[in-house]
Amino acid sequence: MSLTSPSASATAPFSSYFFDNLRTNGILMAFAAVVVALACIKPVFLSPSNLTNLVLQYSYVLILAIGMLMVIVLAQIDLSVGSVIALTGAVAAVVAIRYGQPWWVAVICALVVGLIVGAWQGFWVAVVGIPGFIVSLGGMLIFRGLAQLLLNYISLSPFGGTYYNIANGFFNGWLGGNGFDVFTLLIFAIAVVGYAFSQWRVRAGQIRYQQQVSPLPLFIGKLVAVAAVAMAFAWQISCYRGLPFILILVAILIMAYTLVMQRTGFGRHIYAIGGNLSAARLSGVKVKQVTFWAFVNMGVLASVAGVVYSARMNAAQPAAGTSFELDAIAACFIGGASTTGGIGRVGGAVIGGLIMAVISNGMQLMGVSQGLQPVVKGLILLAAVAFDLFNKRRASTVV
């Protein structure tokens, strides 16, 4: 590639680039620090089985966090997602176990219920104008109750078969391997190359439009670091049971929603509404429609998480998903979303969710007592938001 150094003015000095991005990178560095610290204290943390387990165990929080981010950027909130997980899991179980339908019918039914739930809440928030907090507080009770009624207060199991494999299955042995799965490594290698290529294209586009870009060594260094971490992770999980299905699902969701939020009118409208409702309305943003669909989307994603969670548990439980909404909300805020709307990124919410996941996992490995774990999580939430506030204040001291 011949696009070497752009004009000097287009490349900011390293230090200013670093500090400008402290806010976005801060959370990433915090994540890296947590991982390194845990790896030092408990080397087993990085073991193939534990990393695989981490993916399986926390995927549904990430799925929820993605949908929650949209809702939070809109300056709304959805407290009902934990109950929706229980309800959609229960629907799937009733269809698959009680009525003996095939797994895909159960999944479709669960997703449809998620859609209806989302539309129900979207109606009250967008059309009637009741704050999302109230609507979803009601939803939290309603859907939890419906799940209990549907399951007769007892858990329904087992799903077995393909449904079970949604959250517990692996791609493994397709291309053979010697104690490691070649297929997993291949998929990761393709993903890394794809990532590098897309980043390069973005950068080339920015240079073509004479924008400020990060210095080339930094850019390449960043790509190498990402590639190294991704491949190391791939190697570890390939040594265990291979590539979990669920990881692919989560990865696709993250990519799709990053694109939706950054590159589509719908995503932009969400930021516009959260940033200034009146200005958005007077700019031709259809506030009601956007709000409605954001809630519908949240309902559907909650039902995806419901399917994943019930598959993982191999059962539908009346108490499934209790307080998951709080994990999802915390993930968004740890990831830099603003409590008053308008600010937040999918990537941030995902990293926020990962920080929570890694810390929970680490505490379990270290045998931290049950009661102490939520205390630590709560403190992390406070620390992350305090750090964010501190950064914002520092940034706003310019006239």
Partner 1 sequence: MANNILEMRSITKRFPGVIALQDVTLTVQGGEIHAICGENGAGKSTLMQVLSGVHPHGSYEGEIVYAGQNARFHSINDSERVGIVIIHQELALSPYLSIAENIFLGNERKGPFGLIDWNRANAEAANLMERVGLDENPTTQINQLGVGKQQLVEIAKALSKEVKLLILDEPTAALNDNDSEHLLALMRQLREQGITCIMISHKLGEIMEIADTTTVIRDGRTIETIDMRQPDATQDRLIRDMVGRDLDNRYPPRRPAIGPEVLRIEDWTVGHPTQSGRLVVDHVSLSVRAGEVVGVAGLMGAGRTELAMSVFGKSYGRDITGQLYKHGQPVEINSVSEAIDSGIAYVSEDRKRYGLNLLTDIRSNICSAGLRRLMTAFGWINGNEELKVAEDYRSALGIKTPSVLANVGKLSGGNQQKVVLSKWLFTDPDVLILDEPTRGIDVGAKYEIYTLINEMVANGKAVIVISSELPEILGVCDRVYTLSFGRITGMLPVAEATQENLMELMTQEKDIRK
H or E stretch covering 171: strand 170-171
151 belongs to the binding site for partner 1 (CB under 8 A): no
The only residue of 40, 178, 282, 369 in contact with partner 1, by rule CB under 8 A? 282
Amino acid making up residue 271: Y
239 belongs to the binding site for partner 1 (CB under 8 A): no
Applying the rule CB under 8 A, the residues between 189 and 208 that interact with partner 1 are: 205-206, 208
H or E stretch covering 244: strand 243-244
Select from 255-263, 293-301, 307-315, 350-358 the region that touches partner 1 (CB under 8 A): 255-263
CB 335 within 8 A of CB 352: yes
Q: Which residues pair with 198 in a beta bridge?
A: none
The only residue of 50, 184, 338, 360 in contact with partner 1, by rule CB under 8 A? 338
Which token pair is 323? 């307080």
Q: How far is the CB of 17 from partner 1 (least distance, A)?
A: 13
280 belongs to the binding site for partner 1 (CB under 8 A): yes
Q: How far is the CB of 387 from partner 1 (least distance, A)?
A: 19
Q: How many residues bind partner 1 (CB under 8 A)?
A: 33
Q: Which residues pair with 243 in a beta bridge?
A: 171
Q: How far is the CB of 29 from partner 1 (least distance, A)?
A: 22
- Looking at residue 240, the DSSP 8-state letter turns out to be T
CB 309 within 8 A of CB 167: yes
For partner 1, which is the closer residue by CB, 89 or 342?
A: 342
Amino acid making up residue 211: Q
209 belongs to the binding site for partner 1 (CB under 8 A): yes
Q: Which residue, among 233, 244, 287, 173, has the nearest Cα to 39 in the 3D structure?
A: 233
364 belongs to the binding site for partner 1 (CB under 8 A): no
| Distance separating alpha carbons of residues 270 and 259, to the nearest angstrom | 13
Residue with tokens 């669920």, as numbered in its chain: 246
Residues that bind partner 1 in the complex, under the rule CB under 8 A: 205-206, 208-209, 211-212, 259, 262-265, 268-269, 271-272, 274-276, 278-286, 338, 342-343, 397-399
